[in-house]
Amino acid sequence: AQRVTQPEKLLSVFKGAPVELKCNYSYSGSPELFWYVQYSRQRLQLLLRHISRESIKGFTADLNKGETSFHLKKPFAQEEDSAMYYCALTRTSGSRLTFGEGTQLTVNP
């Protein structure tokens, strides 16, 4: 069975500090990993996916198959990064997503 774990429900950092949101997964095959974000009063939206290998809004995430992790990182957090972040996994593109519990990030001024 596939499973996604985000160990931190809440994470608080100061503006300009580095931030890392942890995500670990369990899956026997080769999954696709995603990070979704929900800003206050907005819809859940895709932030980035591991196959794109891109940086969105300064965030990056590297898939580490050895450690089965897909941590989300940003070197300098901004106040507008405050949101709920979900790590998610799917077997193949378009099939059902399995989400982690989510991490509420707060960036303080």
Partner 1 sequence: SQTIHQWPATLVQPVGSPLSLECTVEGTSNPNLYWYRQAAGRGLQLLFYSVGIGQISSEVPQNLSASRPQDRQFILSSKKLLLSDSGFYLCASTDRRRDGYTFGSGTRLTVV
Give contact residues for partner 1 (rule: CB under 8 A). Answer: 4, 6, 9, 36, 43-46, 49, 86, 92-102
Q: Which is nearer to partner 1, 13 or 97 (CB)?
A: 97
Shortest reach from residue 47's CB to partner 1, in Å: 11
Q: Say whether 81 sits in a helix, a strand or coil.
A: helix
**What is the C-alpha to C-alpha distance for residues 52 and 91, in angstroms, rounded to an integer?**
16
Q: Which is nearer to partner 1, 28 or 93 (CB)?
A: 93
Other Cβ atoms less than 10 A from the Cβ of 92: the count is 10
Across the chain, where does the E strand assignment appear? 3-5, 10-14, 19-21, 24-26, 32-38, 45-49, 60-61, 72-74, 83-90, 98-99, 103-108
Q: Which two tokens stand for residue 55?
A: 């940086």
Q: Which is nearer to partner 1, 16 or 57 (CB)?
A: 57
Shortest reach from residue 35's CB to partner 1, in Å: 12
Shortest reach from residue 42's CB to partner 1, in Å: 8
Shortest reach from residue 12's CB to partner 1, in Å: 18
Q: Which is nearer to partner 1, 15 or 27 (CB)?
A: 27
